[in-house]
A = this chain, B = another copy of it.
Amino acid sequence: MEKKFDRIKAKQLQERVVTPQQAASWIQDGMTLGLSGFTRAGDVKAVPLALVKRAANESFKVNVFTGASLGSDIDRLFAEAGIVNKRLPFQAEPTMRKKINEGDMLFVDHHLSHTAEWIRTGVTETIDFAIVEALSITEDGMIIPTTSVGNSAVFAKHAKNIIVEINTAQPELFEGIHDIYDTGKQGDRLPIPLTAVDQRIGTQGIPVDMEKIRGIVFTEQLDSPSTIVPPDEETKIMADHLLEFLRSEVRAGRLTKKLAPLQSGIGSVANAVLHGMIDSEFEDLEVYSEVLQDAVFDLMDAGKVSFASCCSITLSEPKMQQVYGEFENYRNKIVMRPQEISNHPEIIRRLGLIAINTALEFDMYGNVNSTHVSGTKMMNGIGGSGDFARNSRLAIFVTKSIAKGGNISSVVPFVSHVDHTEHDVDVVVTEQGYADLRGLAPRERVEVILANCVHPTYRAQLREYYDEALTRGGQTPHVLEKAFSWHTDLAKNGTMLQKKEQLV
C-alpha cells in the first residue's frame, strides 16, 4: 500500500479509493453537486476535471453549488464545456461570467451565510454528490478539510453521496486549524456559543456518515494562487482615509487602538486597505473574516494581528510559499470555520465587526452596487458583503472614485443595482476622502458624499443632478427620468461625462 493511503485512517475506507474518472462516471445528467472550494482555496480538482473530460463525448448538465468561487480553472472549464445548469452562490471567472450574462447558464447570487439554510431545509435541489477536498480522513470518519471550509460540512451532511479528494500537496500542518460547528435546524437551535474571535466551538473535521463515502480520489496539486495586484498609489491613499476615519472613532471614544475584529472582502482594493494598517498605530488587531488574503499574514508578520478567524485562505504565489513553509508560526493564530459561521449575522453583530468591502459603485444617498456592471451584467456576486455590512458595527465600502480613465464615475445619482441599501451603509471611502453617513438623513448624505468622495471631474455634474432633484422634493429627491442617464450615456458615448470637460 502506498504511503498516501495512510491519509485514510479509517482503514475500512481504503478500499473505496477510485480514479477520478470512475468517480466522475457516477455523476448523471440533472444531478446536483456540492463542491468544496472558497475563493480558489480548497476546491476539489480531479473529479471536476474528469467530469469536464466526459463532456467531450457526452451531453449532460449538472447544478453546481460551492462555497464561493473555484480555482484550478474549474469554473472556466465547466463554463466552456457547457455542463452547468445552475451555479450558486458565487463565482468570479471571466468565461463563466460571460455565459451567465449571455443567459446560457443560471446563476443564483446568494448571501454566503444563507446557502447552508437552503441546503439544510431542502429549499434547493438535493445534493446528489458532495465532493470535498481533504487532508485526510480520521479513524472515526471525519473529513479534515484543506485550505477552505466553505459549505463543505453542510454539503457532506445533507448529500446522498460523498466523494473525497485527498490532496497530498496541501500542507499537512493545516490539520487542527479547522473548527466545524453545525447550527442545527432553525427553530430547534441553541445560541452559537462563539463570543471571541479565537474561540473554538466545534470539531477539527467534518463528521460524516461513513456509509455515504462512495469514493476516495488522490490528488497532488496546490490551489490556484490569488490574482490580487499589489497596492497602488490610490489604494494607499484610500487606506489612509480609512485610517483617518478609524482614528476619529478612537478620538470619539467609540474604538480603542485595538479597534474591533476586522473583516475585509476579497480583492485587491480591500487587501490594499488592510495592508495600509501595517504602519499605523493600531495594534493587537483581530480578524474575523471570510478569506485571509496576503495582507493578513503581512499584518501578522508585522506583529499587528494577533488572531484571525476565516473560512478560507487565498494567497498569491510568493505568499503561499512563505506561509506554507513557515506555517508552524501561524497555526496557533488561525482558526478556519464553515462560511455559515464566519458570515453569521449572530456572530457579526455580537462581536461588532468593522467590515470593509469593495463597491462597484455607490450613489449620492449611500446605496451600494456590489455586483452588476451598468445594472445588468453580473461581475462576481454579492458574496459575504451583505452578511457583514448589515450586521457589523461599521459597514465600510471602498472604491476608487473613477474608472476607465475617468469615463466612469463610481459615485452616481442612482446605483444601477442595489445590493446594500441606504439603511445598511455606514461609511464610503474613495481616494478623494471618506463620508461618514451614520445618523444622517438622505439630503445630509448627499452633501458629505459630494464634499468628500466624488471625483472633481464629476462634482459639478452630480451637484447639477441633485439641484434639479431638489426641485422635485421628497425624502430622497430624484429626477427619475435622468436617474440612470449617467449609465445610458456611458453605453452611448463611452463616457458618463456630460460636458466637454477635460478627462483626467
Please report A residues at the B interface, Cβ cutoff 8 Å: 86, 88, 100-103, 106-111, 114, 117-118, 121-125, 185-187, 189-193, 195, 252-254, 260-261, 344-346, 349-352, 367, 372, 374-378, 382, 386, 390-391, 393, 416-424, 438-441, 443-444, 469-470, 472-478, 480-481, 483-485, 487-488, 491
Task: Note all chain B residues with C-beta closer than 8 A to A487.
Answer: 480
Do A192 and B191 have beta carbons less than 8 Å apart? yes
A-B contact pairs, 22 of them (CB 8 A): A103-B477, A107-B441, A107-B475, A109-B422, A121-B254, A122-B254, A186-B351, A186-B393, A187-B351, A189-B352, A191-B192, A191-B193, A346-B349, A346-B350, A375-B474, A375-B476, A375-B478, A376-B475, A376-B476, A376-B480, A386-B390, A420-B421
Task: Note all chain B residues with C-beta closer than 8 A to A109.
Answer: 422-423, 475
Most-contacted residue by chain B among A350, A372, A473 (CB, 10 A): A350
Task: Note all chain B residues with C-beta closer than 8 A to A393.
Answer: 117, 121, 186-187
Please tell me which one of the listed residues B107, B110, B117 contacts residue A423 in the complex, with CB atoms under 8 A apart: B110
Closest to A472 in B: B376
Do A103 and B350 have beta carbons less than 8 Å apart? no
Do B423 and A345 have beta carbons less than 8 Å apart? no
Do B443 and A106 have beta carbons less than 8 Å apart? yes
Task: Note all chain B residues with C-beta closer than 8 A to A123.
Answer: 254, 438-439
Do B480 and A481 have beta carbons less than 8 Å apart? no
User: Given the complex of chains A and B, what is the CA–CA distance between A469 and B481 in angstroms?
Assistant: 17
User: Given the complex of chains A and B, what is the CA–CA distance between A114 and B473 in angstroms?
Assistant: 27
Nearest-neighbour CB distance to chain B for A484, whole angstroms, equals 4
- Give the secondary structure class of A's interface: loop
Do A350 and B102 have beta carbons less than 8 Å apart? no
Task: Note all chain B residues with C-beta closer than 8 A to A485.
Answer: 481
User: Given the complex of chains A and B, what is the CA–CA distance between A417 and B365 in angstroms?
Assistant: 11
Do A191 and B195 have beta carbons less than 8 Å apart? yes
Closest to A420 in B: B421
Minimum-distance CB pairs A-B, first 7 = A186-B352, A376-B474, A191-B191, A378-B475, A418-B418, A106-B441, A346-B346
Do A477 and B421 have beta carbons less than 8 Å apart? no
User: Given the complex of chains A and B, what is the CA–CA distance between A443 and B85 in angstroms?
Assistant: 13
Most-contacted residue by chain B among A103, A107, A185, A252 (CB, 10 A): A103
Nearest-neighbour CB distance to chain B for A202, whole angstroms, equals 15
Closest to A373 in B: B474
Closest to A352 in B: B186
Nearest-neighbour CB distance to chain B for A91, whole angstroms, equals 11
Task: Note all chain B residues with C-beta closer than 8 A to A475.
Answer: 100-101, 107, 109, 372, 376-378
Do B419 and A421 have beta carbons less than 8 Å apart? yes
Do B480 and A484 have beta carbons less than 8 Å apart? yes
Do A443 and B110 have beta carbons less than 8 Å apart? no
Task: Note all chain B residues with C-beta closer than 8 A to A189.
Answer: 195, 350, 352
Do B478 and A481 have beta carbons less than 8 Å apart? no
Name 11 extra pairs, CB < 8 A, besides A375-B483, A376-B475: A88-B439, A108-B439, A121-B393, A189-B195, A191-B192, A191-B193, A346-B350, A372-B474, A376-B477, A390-B390, A480-B484
Nearest-neighbour CB distance to chain B for A382, whole angstroms, equals 6
Task: Note all chain B residues with C-beta closer than 8 A to A481.
Answer: 484-485, 488
User: Given the complex of chains A and B, what is the CA–CA distance between A393 and B444 in angstroms?
Assistant: 35
Closest to A392 in B: B186
Do A103 and B473 have beta carbons less than 8 Å apart? yes
Do B382 and A423 have beta carbons less than 8 Å apart? yes
Closest to A481 in B: B488
Nearest-neighbour CB distance to chain B for A360, whole angstroms, equals 13
User: Given the complex of chains A and B, what is the CA–CA distance between A400 and B261 in angstroms?
Assistant: 44
Do A367 and B418 have beta carbons less than 8 Å apart? yes
**Would A86 and B478 be within 8 Å (CB), given that A192-B191, A195-B191, A346-B349 are in contact?**
no
Closest to A492 in B: B481
Do A473 and B377 have beta carbons less than 8 Å apart? yes
Task: Note all chain B residues with C-beta closer than 8 A to A420.
Answer: 421
Task: Note all chain B residues with C-beta closer than 8 A to A114.
Answer: 423
